[in-house]
Structure 1
Amino acid sequence: MEPILELESARLLMRQWRDEDLPEFAAMCADPQVMRYFPALLSRLDSAALIGRMRGHFAEHGFGFWALQRKDTGAFIGLTGLLHVGFEGAFTPAVEIGWRLAREHWGLGYASEAAWTALRCGFDRLALDEVVAFTTEANLPSQKVMQAIGMHYDPSADFEHPKVGADNPLRHHVLYRITREQWLETLHG
Structure 2
Amino acid sequence: MASPLTLLTPRLTLRRWHADDLDPMAAINADPEVMRWAGDGSVHDRERTSAAIAAWEREWDERGVGLFAVEVRQSRRLAGFAGLSVPSSLPEILPAVALGWRLGRPFRGHGLATEAARAVLDFALRDRGLARVVGVHHAADDASAAVLRKLGMRRERETTHPECGVPVCVHSLDARP
TM-score, normalised to structure 1's length? 0.88
Q: Are the aligned partners of 1:67 and 1:80 in contact in 2 as well (CA < 8 Å)?
A: yes
Corresponding position of 1:187: none
| Structure 2 residue 98 is the aligned partner of structure 1 residue 103 | no
Distance 1:173 1:63 in 2: 23
Corresponding position of 2:143: 141
Q: 1:76 aligns with which of 64, 75, 78?
A: 78
**Secondary structure, in 3 states, of the residue corresponding to 1:34?**
helix
Corresponding position of 2:169: 174
**Secondary structure, in 3 states, of the residue corresponding to 1:158?**
strand
Residues paired across the two proteins, number: 174
Structure 1 spans left out of the alignment, 5+ residues? 183-189
The Cα shift of 1:5 comes to 2.1
Deviations 1:45-95 (A, max 9, x none): 111110010011011012210000011111110100011222342221100
CA RMSD of aligned residues (A): 1.5
Distance 1:44 1:3 in 2: 25
**Secondary structure, in 3 states, of the residue corresponding to 2:23?**
helix
**Secondary structure, in 3 states, of the residue corresponding to 1:48?**
helix
Structure 1 pair 176–50 and aligned structure 2 pair: CA distance change class (3 A): same
Structure 1 pair 3–20 and aligned structure 2 pair: CA distance change class (3 A): closer
The Cα shift of 1:181 comes to 4.5
Q: 1:120 aligns with which of 100, 119, 122?
A: 122
TM-score, normalised to structure 2's length? 0.93
Q: Are the aligned partners of 1:3 and 1:63 in contact in 2 as well (CA < 8 Å)?
A: no
Corresponding position of 2:160: 160
Corresponding position of 2:91: 89
Distance 2:69 2:162 in 1: 26
**Secondary structure, in 3 states, of the residue corresponding to 1:54?**
helix
**Secondary structure, in 3 states, of the residue corresponding to 2:35?**
coil
Q: Are the aligned partners of 2:159 and 2:167 in contact in 1 as well (CA < 8 Å)?
A: yes
Percent same amino acid at aligned positions? Answer: 29
Structure 2 spans left out of the alignment, 5+ residues? none
Q: Are the aligned partners of 2:7 and 2:13 in contact in 1 as well (CA < 8 Å)?
A: yes
The Cα shift of 1:121 comes to 0.5
